[in-house]
Structure 1
């Protein structure tokens, strides 16, 4: 039996029918109403239908945070196809892999800039993929090069602005999100329509979202990733909010946009909060920022306690930390809105979701609040599986429970605290060392601006602990001084014997620290 009421495209169409003239997206000087955005998505759906795209087909999209992302995303869903959002930093060979692995039949790619020629890599990847037959270039002013791809603007201009959405069952695939691929080839997590739809609607419970007083969201998280896609884009459209888009996070520009558009909702990863705090100076009206800001949420990595404190002091808002993965649509747990934070906690399971701690053999982790186990998740948010990978799906999902690969503990009140990724755990001399704990301590040092702790090979201990540190400007702290300071505060097997100072840490497109690039 079809259940179209939770087709993800309804997040846009329902709001467009209720508030057609409300602003959906602000981008530069452009203001796009819900009616205009819905019409643009209808053109995309008509285009795909005219090219033979069938319900259930996969359609890929490489696009930064510009309005075209939303119109193409919802147009694909209206046509009954599934969206395959791709990281805009992928190279041509990586794109070819994703197109082939997802069985994409069509591909939309934003042209990009001289610094980031998205479409050039996209066009090369498309031409290397036999099964993908349609390519649409979303122009931005330059040239894709290497041939003559079809113009998106010209193609959609010929299409009608009305479209009857193709009905899909709530268990049909809506989005295929590829995992980061830090080990092995990236895998496509198949998210059902109900997974994505229900996860967007949890904002009513998590953030006290009120459709009668819609929020204005600053969209700095990449929309091709689950966090920005669900919490910002889909969450905003579900409740009639306005999205202010910033294609790439830059702290000073973000602060200007927050002031110019009275932003009430900010979502970011810890490095973005760090950047905002570092960009505050006498030219920024912090009082006005604080007066407007209603909700601040963080995910992607644990938020250092010091950043938590500084943001509350300056902005007057408690950052709500959450947790999730591409495989969980993504939200699995969140801090409770309106309550004092438990710093370092990822909160409690969201409504309709269960979490527990397990051991390698799937048995429950025993031992009370001090027990450490791998987070397992069950609920409306858990993916259908990894696309075309039944073996990997069976390893990850058992009796509805998805094993995350993240190690955590749970306090007596049911709040979870991430200890670390199981694969990031350092084993020094037979002792398990969790980098997150050490990073939290080092962040308390007045000269430490940002830090990543990693394990490096050691002849006798197996691994030694190394801290890669970005110092505060003007700091003269030495490596030896920081080692001695940490030694006073950490157990003998935990403190870093090696400290390296760097000007910056390598980051992913979503602002996560790339520890695998450190050594």
Structure 2
């Protein structure tokens, strides 16, 4: 018997009055979170849902998310968290693909009517039987989605006690959909053991503070936020300060007000926090002790700026949905190497391979392959695509890296983002790192665009630093002086913003 919901149940039993979540003026203790999760489990059981069934969840960072997430797990069913930005058509695709029997969705707002979109997608999916709306107004029994049952009316009369289903370590706990940058999104099947081991290993890597308060701005529907903030935080009996939508000024205010000790984010969040501090003279939150970055490579210039501003460094890690997600990290007790994703975490191995799966010795570059307790079972109902990336327990990531003599890995780029210009391989990240050292460049994304003669040409999309002016020709000339002839961008376009995913990653496919 091994069930991921133990991270909540154990804390509720041992520290029932400790505050699990802060949301606005709400302070919710562990006992209450577990009680509502038990009611959700009883509701699902009463509707005939249990072990082996799939239950989808669309919800930003609100108390609803853990209520429903752990409630689903307690029944032995599988949680399928969905991106909050999906259209009705995309919702229907995901529900049909994972064969969901039930679906919980937040009502949303007039600007982002996720409940209405979810209900329309649900209505198009023959196998989906039960739909519950999570109303925007606290404890409301009605919603703006006509015909939808609200969670509070459904939970009326449900017992606050539930005996968690016995699940095997290899039973599927969560299906996480990959962002679908190549083809249609695929569901990575992660077992109770995958998710629980990753939460435990992540927890053991950090010293326990007297107070553990986590700013939870990373979306909980994404693997990074789910493991490194929610599952790990609940195991540690930490307090999660929930932020439904990241905004740098509000994040800094919450850090100061709630005395936040840990922040985990993607590179664009760090860039936004630093930009806000420098532009508006915002006070640096002194309570912050740990900063973690993942999701994409953190530019070295941003790392340096953070260290200067906050007085300590960002710990970079690496992982994917398919690896539960944490695979490597700059770990305490070992030197932290800026720009590196560190070394494999406990119980995990990494190596470099070529296109034919052959192991590469030395520094590389090569594609990262990973083996260990964190590797997914496979892509749900996709044996052929699973076989392409899984072999003898190893998972090939599609990420190109180099390795130093101490065994630290450094991401070069995504294999699919590599630009081939006139027969030369150019890694966008390398070009971006150089451009970020220019005083007029605040943020940059480099992509390959079609070119008749060279196959691809290098183009940079640049957000200028506040109060600076630089022309495209001037920046191109500067780049030409600072990098090899085949690497520097021939085209520069200035933008006020760059397209990003809900998790804060720059969407390069929309720039190509």
TM class by smaller structure = over 0.9
- RMSD over equivalenced CA pairs, Å: 1.3
Partner residue in 2 for 1:479: 472
| Residue 56 (structure 2) pairs with residue 57 (structure 1) | no
Superposition TM-score, scaled by structure 2 size: 0.97
Paired residues of 1:214 and 1:240 also in contact (CA < 8 A)? no
2:195 matched to 1:196?
Answer: yes
Match of 1:279 in 2: 276
| Contact residue 107 and residue 145 of structure 2 kept, 8 A | no
Aligned residues: 508
Give 1:384's aligned residue. 377
Match of 2:82 among 83, 86, 90: 86
CA shift, 1:284, in A, is 3.1
In the alignment, structure 1 residue 436 sits paired with structure 2 residue 429: yes
Tell whether the 8 Å contact from 1:119 to 1:144 is kept in structure 2 after alignment.
no
Contact 1:27/1:244 (<8 A) preserved: yes
Is structure 2 residue 65 aligned with structure 1 residue 69?
yes
Deviation at 1:136, TM superposition (A): 0.3
Of 319-328 and 308-317, deviating more is 308-317
- Which secondary structure does the structure 2 equivalent of 1:202 belong to? helix
Indicate the SS of the match to 2:80. strand
In the aligned structure 2, how far is the partner of 1:206 from the partner of 1:359? 31
Contact 1:448 1:469 in 2 (8 A): yes
Unaligned 5+ runs, structure 2: none
CA distance in 2, matches of 1:324, 1:18: 31
Summarize the Cα distance change of 1:184–1:144 in structure 2 as closer, same or farther, 3 Å threshold: farther
What's the counterpart of residue 332 of structure 1? 327
Contact 2:22 2:240 in 1 (8 A): yes
Quote how far apart the aligned CAs of 1:339 are.
4.8
- State the Cα distance separating 1:204 from its structure 2 match: 3.5
1:457 aligns with 2:457: no
| Aligned counterpart, 1:237 | 234
Contact kept, 8 Å, 2:54 with 2:98, in 1: the verdict is yes
SS at match of 1:346: coil
Residue number among 314, 337, 342 corresponding to 1:342 in the alignment: 337
The answer for unaligned runs of 5 or more in structure 1 is none
Look up the match of 2:358: 363
Q: Distance in 1 between matches of 2:93 and 2:193?
A: 27
Cα distance, 1:146–1:37 mapped onto 2, change above 3 Å: closer
Query: 2: CA distance between counterparts of 1:198 and 1:144?
Result: 38
Q: 1:146 offset after TM fit, Å?
A: 6.0
SS of match in other structure, 1:342: coil
Aligned 1:16-55 pairs, distance under 5 A: 16-55=12-51
Q: How far apart, CA to CA, are the structure 1 residues paired with 2:240 and 2:197? A: 20
Query: Does the 8 Å contact 1:178/1:188 carry over to 2?
Result: yes
With 132-141 and 336-345 compared, the bigger mean Cα shift is at: 336-345
Residue 423 of structure 1, aligned match among 411, 416, 419? 416
Query: How much does 1:233 deviate?
Result: 0.5
Whole-angstrom CA distance in 2 between matches of 1:214 and 1:175 = 29
Matches within 5 A, 1:15-414: 15-141=11-137, 147-209=146-208, 213-280=210-277, 284-286=282-284, 289-290=285-286, 292-337=287-332, 339-366=334-361, 368-369=362-363, 371-414=364-407
